[in-house]
Structure 1
Amino acid sequence: MELYKKPATINELAEKWWTDERLKKILGDKKYTITPKSAPQLLRLLGLLNADASMSPDNLKKFIQINHMFNLLETHFTDLVSRHKVVHILDVGCGKSYLTFLLAWCFKEKWNTQAKIVGVDTNQKIIKSCIEKAEKLGYNDFLSFECASMTAYKWPYENRPNAVVALHACDTATDMALAFAIKEKTDFIAVAPCCQAELARKWKEIEGEHPLNPVFHTPQIRRETAAHLTDSLRMTLTRASGYEVTATEFVPSNHTPKNRLLTCVRRGNYLESAKKEYQSMKEYLGGKSIMLEDLLNTN
């Protein structure tokens, strides 16, 4: 009679599958925080590891993206860990919450530091799935998810958020995330803008003579130019609100063209020169404001 053999766990499968040679093949000389051997259960729940602990080519691309992204942000989060007993984080438009879960893993497994992390998205189905994953990982005591729009969102904790992130929040959703973070005087902000269409729509309506008419009235050039200049206006407004702002590559450009990451570190309350720069740029570009300006001017 054959004895029942207990199925191997994902940790055991990962330990067996991911030999040094296989890890070297996907990591090269890169230093990643999250690997198939260090966090197999997390990667499995995120859908990046197969049932046998292997990884498909498509999932390998996502795996590289989220690790590259985290490497860009890690020093900012370790700084927050050094300055706050409990780090409060909001992820706006969290989607499948790759970054949210990766941060949760780090706080529990790597930094051994308390955190309160909230992911917000308008997609109820995705939020339900994220809640279930948090419970399976045992993170639901410090990681929560809410189905909500930033237009009426209320931060649930007495302490202000120490960090606000918004990765690929579409169009004006990035402005909402920035405005919320700036008004809360958040220590650190990271946004990866996506599908910036607001300024392009406003430019289309401009009539009469203007030196930028060839841009305003050529659809493809208008969309692309507006996307870049929207981010320039956002950066300047955020600097005017007391933040040091840096633009960098979000993920390797061979993975996606939407790869601009804006990181913002609070240094003060106001910068007059940046406010003047914004007004000058705005007037030159047809006098059209962006939503971030409108939101910051409302109480």
Structure 2
Amino acid sequence: MEIYKKPPDFKEVANKWWTQDRLKKIMGDKNYTITPLNAPLLLRSLGLLNSDASISPDNLKKFIQINHMFNLLEPHFEDLVKRHKKVCILDAGCGKSYLTFLLAWCFIEKWKHPVEIIGVDTNTKIIKSCNEKAEKLGYSSILKFESASMLTYKWDKETRPNAVVALHACDTATDMALSFAIKQKADFIAVAPCCQAELARKWKDSETSHPMSPVFHTPQVRREIAAHFTDALRICLVRSKGYEVTATEFVPSAHTPKNRLITCIRRGNHLESAEKEFVSLKEHIGGNVITLEELLLNEI
């Protein structure tokens, strides 16, 4: 008679696989917050660890990327933990929600602090999958996902969101997230813009003579430069609303061109000098209106 053997717990599998030598190979001298040893179930649920707890080369890149991103953001969330009895976070355009799940893990396992996290995305299949993962991990009491557009999303909580994040929200979705966060007076905002093509489209249709016409009518150059100017305009607009804004590279450009992280800390309600900078820059590059400017005109 064959004796049934209970399959090993995944934590046990991870503990056996991840020797100090193997950890050192993937982490080097980096001090990552999330590791295969302290969060194996989380990383397995996110699809980053294989069934034997190993990690493939492609997933290793994602593991390093999300940890580096988290290390950049972690001090800001630790500050929110110190300032608020309960932290409210919105992930706009959450997608597969790597950061959202990492935050949930940290609030539960590391900071042990009350939190409410909401992920919003227009993709209903992704939202369903994320809610199922949250349930499976035991996070559903603090982490929920909703299907909605940030253009129409309504925050119906008693308190405002303390933080709004939008990582790789495509094109004008970043503007929608920024506008929502500013109008809600979020303490902290973090966005990593992606595929911002709005300004490039408007430049392409420009028929007037302008000093930047050679850029306007050269597709490859137009797209790249327009993306940089779009972020510059966004930075001016956010600063004009009383935020201290920093732009940093969070992934080496050799890995991806989508590597700009813009972090914003609320310091006040208005900064006139930044508003003047925005107007001047806008006029200098053709006078086109970007979505963030248009959305902020409709003040709540």
Q: Distance in 2 between matches of 1:2 and 1:151?
A: 60
Q: Partner of 1:247 in structure 2?
A: 247
1:271 aligns with 2:271: yes
Q: Partner of 2:293 in structure 1?
A: 293
Q: Partner of 2:20 in structure 1?
A: 20
| Deviation readout 1:233-280 (Å, 9 max, x if unpaired) | 000000000000000012232321110000000011000000000000
Q: Partner of 2:259 in structure 1?
A: 259
Q: Distance in 2 between matches of 1:267 and 1:214?
A: 39
Give 1:282 deviation, angstroms: 0.5
- The answer on whether the counterparts of 1:243 and 1:267 sit within 8 Å (CA) in structure 2 is yes
Give 1:3 deviation, angstroms: 2.6
Q: Partner of 1:51 in structure 2?
A: 51
Q: Partner of 1:84 in structure 2?
A: 84
1:95 aligns with 2:101: no
1:121 aligns with 2:121: yes
The code of the aligned residue for 2:150 comes to M
Give 1:104 deviation, angstroms: 0.1
SS of the residue 1:78 aligns to? helix
SS of the residue 2:169 aligns to? strand
Give 1:50 deviation, angstroms: 0.5
Q: Partner of 2:165 in structure 1?
A: 165
The code of the aligned residue for 1:127 comes to I
SS of the residue 1:139 aligns to? coil
Q: Partner of 1:184 in structure 2?
A: 184
Q: Partner of 2:195 in structure 1?
A: 195
- The answer on whether the counterparts of 1:170 and 1:196 sit within 8 Å (CA) in structure 2 is yes
Q: Partner of 2:7 in structure 1?
A: 7
Q: Distance in 1 between matches of 2:209 and 2:274?
A: 28
1:209 aligns with 2:239: no
The code of the aligned residue for 1:154 comes to K
Q: Distance in 2 between matches of 1:208 and 1:49?
A: 54
Q: Which runs of 5+ in 1 are unaligned?
A: none
Q: Distance in 2 between matches of 1:24 and 1:156?
A: 45
Cα RMSD between the aligned structures? 0.8
Superposed, 1:219-238 pairs within 5 Å as 219-238=219-238
Q: Partner of 2:284 in structure 1?
A: 284
The code of the aligned residue for 2:237 comes to L
1:144 aligns with 2:144: yes
SS of the residue 1:235 aligns to? helix
| Deviation readout 1:187-236 (Å, 9 max, x if unpaired) | 00000000111111111122232111111111111111100000000000
Q: Partner of 1:134 in structure 2?
A: 134
Give 1:2 deviation, angstroms: 4.1
Equivalent pairs, count: 299
SS of the residue 2:136 aligns to? helix
Q: Distance in 1 between matches of 2:16 and 2:184?
A: 47
- The answer on whether the counterparts of 1:168 and 1:192 sit within 8 Å (CA) in structure 2 is yes
Give 1:155 deviation, angstroms: 1.3
Give 1:156 deviation, angstroms: 3.2
SS of the residue 2:52 aligns to? coil
SS of the residue 1:13 aligns to? helix
The code of the aligned residue for 2:40 comes to P
Q: Distance in 1 between matches of 2:174 and 2:64?
A: 24
Q: Distance in 1 between matches of 2:130 and 2:250?
A: 23
Q: Partner of 1:63 in structure 2?
A: 63
Q: Distance in 1 between matches of 2:17 and 2:269?
A: 52
- TM-score of the superposition, structure 2-length normalised? 0.98
- The answer on whether the counterparts of 1:81 and 1:87 sit within 8 Å (CA) in structure 2 is yes
The code of the aligned residue for 2:80 comes to L
Q: Partner of 1:111 in structure 2?
A: 111
Q: Which runs of 5+ in 2 are unaligned?
A: none
SS of the residue 1:67 aligns to? helix
Q: Distance in 2 between matches of 1:14 and 1:253?
A: 32
- TM-score of the superposition, structure 1-length normalised? 0.99
- The answer on whether the counterparts of 1:65 and 1:252 sit within 8 Å (CA) in structure 2 is no
- The answer on whether the counterparts of 1:166 and 1:191 sit within 8 Å (CA) in structure 2 is yes
SS of the residue 1:58 aligns to? helix
Q: Distance in 2 between matches of 1:176 and 1:95?
A: 15
The code of the aligned residue for 2:54 comes to S
Give 1:55 deviation, angstroms: 0.7
Give 1:100 deviation, angstroms: 0.1
Q: Distance in 2 between matches of 1:162 and 1:89?
A: 6
